[in-house]
Amino acid sequence: MTLEKLLPSLRSSLPHPIEPWLWPASTHHLPAGDLSVGGVSLMRIVAEHGSGTQVIDIGEFRARADEFRHAFYDADVSYASKALLTQAVCRWVEDAGLRLDVCSAGELFVARRANFPMDRISLHGNAKSTDLLRTAMPAGIGRIIVDSVDELDQLAELAFGQGRQKIMLRVIPGVDAGTHPAIATGIEGQKFGLSLLDGSVDRAVTKILNHPQLELSGLHCHLGSQISNAEPFVRAAGTMVAEMARIQSRFGVTLPELDLGGGFSIAYRGGEVPLSISETAADIRHAVRNACDRHMIRPPRLAVEPGRSIAGPAGITIYQVVTVKHSGDRRWVMVNGGMADNPRPCLYGAGYTARLLGRLSGANEEHLTIAGQHCESGDVLIADALLPEDIHPGDLLVVPATGAYHHSMASNYNMTPRQPLIGVENGTVRTLVRRETMSELTRREVGDR
């Protein structure tokens, strides 16, 4: 029995503990239910920028990038920019000595605007346009991760007259990482990669080896996201090395690089434990070395592509409660945000947690549903949140682990202006992306009839 349970009145003076893994390491309590992140009061952010606001702890992002660089000290770490990308993010990634992955013309555009070194960028995508390849290749893109045999025909044509272009082949290792089907990418029957079962890898290797300007630097795979143990990576390492050995014996080429993709899990709810980066790095290193010994090939240089595990835990989102009402067997809390700023619950059934911000409550806690403001019954941000039963309109809620696939996946659904992205670091506040304005919603329209 805790003191809090014996004396319920104490509850109002005891803020909820800050759960490990969920919040940026800099998070601590301030008086009156406020929290400090990156040395900045979240209530100050609300006062200056309003609610319906995303905050990123720049120090946390940098620390996580450093953690990857140290854990994978003998490998290349490429930040998957789809998780969160702005020009400032490019700078943090470059400062940390990481490479950058892009998978669209827009991501490449932002990286180039930020002067990210082109030779440290890898270009992904299952449907790269000729225009995109035409921009990337002469600009000196580091690697192109080829996703189909057709793409090679396009590349072969464009490569003539250019310098040598490094190519990696994305293959399907047939490893089910146990993730949500919408984010499982290491198995047959989804859209990414070349099958190891139907001869397409051999056709692709032949095309590359026959082209003087294309250089096959290695194999790539990406198993999925939110992978919560090292075992799928270990299995993939074995399959990939076996395939490299097969290519070596069939074509007489040694492939110097092996990229095992991203997908390192993070915590979204209390009690969840993220994948240990250092332990996973050690397990992968060991698996690659063993497989290379077994197949008697030279160990390739390893690469990984984390996105979520660098950006995710660095972000939080602040909402305001607009309405509280009953529906069915529970109360629903409606906030000034939803599927337009966080589509992940709708897309993948992703779970989150929320806490009250800006006041302490001594009330009992209740299981509530937090819904968004959009015109979809599926617009539920948190199906089951535990919050004080005295929650009321005007309260502020803060949701952790929103640094990845939030800002980057946000939409204007229901003509909703997109939220700002506010950076905090060492007690300073920087607007990285300002709030979208109403007038921007019609900016692309051409005429009114």
Ligand X SMILES: Cc1ncc(COP(=O)(O)O)c(C=O)c1O
Cα dist. 343→70, 228, 334 in Å?
33, 22, 16
Report in angstroms how near the CB of residue 39 gets to ligand X at its nearest: 27
DSSP category for residue 14: S
Residue 307 binds to ligand X (criterion: CB under 6 A): yes
Instruction: Spot the catalytic one: 103, 221, 292, 375.
Output: 375
Residues 130 and 134: their CA atoms lie apart, in Å, by: 6
User: How far apart are the C-alpha atoms of 383 and 380, rounded to whole Å?
Assistant: 6
Question: Per CB under 6 A, which region of 125-133, 261-269, 386-394, 420-428 contacts ligand X?
Answer: 261-269
Q: What are phi and psi of 348, to 5 degrees?
A: -125, 5
Q: Which residues make Cβ contacts (< 8 Å) with residue 347, sequence separation at least 6?
A: 182
Q: Does 173 bind ligand X (CB under 6 A)?
A: no
Residue 292 catalytic? no
Q: Which is nearer to ligand X, 237 or 321 (CB)?
A: 237
Binding segment (CB under 6 A) for ligand X, from list 12-20, 249-257, 269-277, 304-312: 304-312
264: contact with ligand X by CB under 6 A: yes
Helices within 303-409 (DSSP H only) = 308-311, 344-348
Helices and strands per DSSP (H, E), number in the chain = 12, 21
Select 306 or 343, whichever has its Cβ closest to ligand X: 306
**From the CB of 224, what's the least distance to ligand X, in Å?**
8
Site for ligand X in 201-230 (CB under 6 A): 222, 225
Size of the site for ligand X (CB under 6 A): 17
Q: Which is nearer to ligand X, 142 or 388 (CB)?
A: 142
Cα 65 to the center of its chain, rounded Å:
13
Residue range at the interface with ligand X (CB under 6 A); choices 48-56, 113-121, 303-311, 424-432: 303-311
CB of 405 to ligand X, least distance (A): 7
407 contributes a contact to ligand X by CB under 6 A: no
Residues 109-148 contacting ligand X, CB under 6 A: 124
If one asks whether residue 416 binds ligand X (CB under 6 A), the answer comes out as: no
Answer for which of 125, 274, 306, 315 binds ligand X (CB under 6 A) is 306
Residue list 46-75, contact with ligand X (CB under 6 A): none
Give the distance from CA 104 to its chain's centroid.
15
> Which one of 64, 235, 308, 418 is in contact with ligand X (CB under 6 A)?
308
**CA gap 316, 45 in Å, rounded:** 12
Q: What's the distance, CA 196 to chain centroid?
A: 27
Does residue 338 bind ligand X (CB under 6 A)? no
Please report whether residue 337 would count as binding ligand X according to CB under 6 A.
no
Asked whether the beta carbons of 241 and 227 are under 8 A apart, the reply is no
Residue 104 binds ligand X (CB under 6 A): no
Contact 88, 432 (CB under 8 A): yes
Angle among Cα 40, 42, 43 to the nearest 5 degrees reads 115
| 249/445 Cα distance (integer angstroms) | 57
What's at 314, amino acid-wise? A
User: In sequence order, which residues have a C-beta less than 8 Å from that of residue 373 and are 6 or more positions away?
Assistant: 322, 334, 335, 336, 337, 338, 379, 414, 416
Q: How far is the CB of 207 from ligand X (least distance, A)?
A: 22
Any idea how long the chain is? 449
Among 22, 42, 83, 219, binds ligand X (CB under 6 A): 83
Q: How far is the CB of 80 from ligand X (least distance, A)?
A: 3
**Interacting residue with ligand X among 263, 300, 358, 420 (CB under 6 A):** 263
CA distance 409 to 80: 14
Q: Give 307 or 315: the residue with its C-beta nearer to ligand X.
A: 307
Nearer to ligand X, 112 or 222 (CB): 222
113 CB-side CA count, 13 A: 11
Measured from the CB atom, the residue of 145 and 292 that comes closer to ligand X is: 145
Residue in 94, 151, 243, 305 binding ligand X, rule: CB under 6 A: 305
By C-beta, is 183 or 432 nearer to ligand X?
Answer: 183
Q: Do 342 and 349 form a contact (C-beta atoms < 8 A)?
A: no
Active site residue ranges: 375
Binding site for ligand X (CB under 6 A): 80, 82-83, 101, 124, 222, 225, 261-264, 305-309, 404
